[in-house]
């Protein structure tokens, strides 16, 4: 049976979006949601993506968002993904409002949609909830001591401040920290350079997906950690520059975070299984 999908991305962080209940994937497609994500995310033998996002019905929200990484693991939250979910709902006529509510495994997210001249959503502001920034800790990885700041944004992050984000060992150190004993459930790892007044350059190793072009929750974690360390001013939006583009992150005094950035549709498709 063919599976219909919409490929979308937020700053190059791309997923395959499917309208349906992932818990019924096995009976409908012969593979469960994790198996589908592993197979279809492959960039050589599949469609190619950082994972799959299912948009399912919810009684208390406009939809329920379920995220499966490229390795089949299920994620709690995806900042770039939730912006695309808002665009999906509006562009396909599933909602007719510019304010929507999306339920995720890390709680309810409120979205403010901004359509472009063609009537399709171009940018989305997301109320991400509260970022909890822990004290800096030192762990040993790859034979060296690494200073990092744990941050919870509904999913776990480890923010590593560096002098040069482009030269940071994202692949090697990111992979080592992802499954470090200090993080038994795994962690997303951000390598962050302060590049200007309220501006950060960030590169990311995402739990379950590896290096990606952008990470919305990682940008929120990085901005919150920078504000906590006095490296950025929480009274103004923090500009976070990623491999795939830019996000604006607002960090309130109580830790509440608002993320604003683009969402784009790549194509519609159907794959035979």
φ, ψ (nearest 5 deg) of residue 49: -175, 175
Residue 267 annotated among the catalytic residues of the structure? no
Question: Out of 63, 84, 215, 220, which one is annotated catalytic?
Answer: 215
* Residue 82: its H or E element: helix 79-91
Question: Out of 78, 84, 220, 267, which one is annotated catalytic?
Answer: 78
CA 202 distance to own-chain centroid: 13
Q: Are 181 and 191 in contact (CB under 8 A)?
A: no
Q: Are 239 and 199 in contact (CB under 8 A)?
A: yes
Q: Are 236 and 229 in contact (CB under 8 A)?
A: no
Q: How many CB atoms lie within 10 A of CB 189?
A: 30
Q: Are 82 and 126 in contact (CB under 8 A)?
A: yes
Residue 84 annotated among the catalytic residues of the structure? no
Which residues are part of the catalytic machinery? 78, 215
């Amino acid at each position: 049976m063919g599976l219909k999908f919409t490929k979308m991305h937020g700053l190059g962080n791309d997923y395959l979006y499917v309208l349906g209940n992932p818990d019924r994937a096995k009976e409908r497609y012969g593979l469960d949601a994790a198996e589908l994500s592993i197979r279809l995310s492959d960039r050589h033998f599949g469609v190619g993506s950082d994972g799959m996002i299912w948009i399912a019905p919810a009684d208390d929200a406009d939809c329920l968002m379920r995220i499966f990484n490229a390795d089949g693991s299920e994620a709690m939250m995806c900042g770039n993904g939730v912006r695309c979910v808002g665009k999906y709902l509006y562009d396909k006529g599933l909602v007719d409002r510019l304010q929507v509510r999306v339920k995720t495994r890390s709680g309810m997210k409120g979205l403010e949609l901004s359509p472009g001249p063609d009537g399709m959503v171009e940018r989305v502001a997301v109320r991400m909830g509260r970022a909890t920034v822990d004290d800096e800790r030192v762990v040993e990885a790859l034979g060296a001591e690494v200073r990092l700041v744990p941050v919870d944004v509904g999913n776990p992050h480890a923010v590593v401040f560096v002098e040069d984000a482009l030269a940071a060992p994202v692949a090697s150190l990111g992979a080592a920290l992802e499954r470090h004993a200090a993080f038994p459930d795994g962690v997303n790892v951000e390598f962050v350079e302060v590049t200007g007044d309220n501006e950060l350059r960030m590169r990311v190793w995402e739990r379950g997906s590896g290096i990606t072009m952008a990470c919305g929750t990682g940008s929120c974690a990085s901005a919150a950690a920078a504000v906590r360390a006095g490296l950025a001013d929480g009274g103004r939006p923090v500009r976070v520059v990623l491999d795939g583009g830019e996000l604006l992150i607002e960090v309130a005094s109580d830790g509440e975070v608002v993320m604003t950035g683009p969402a784009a549709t790549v194509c519609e498709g159907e794959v035979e299984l």
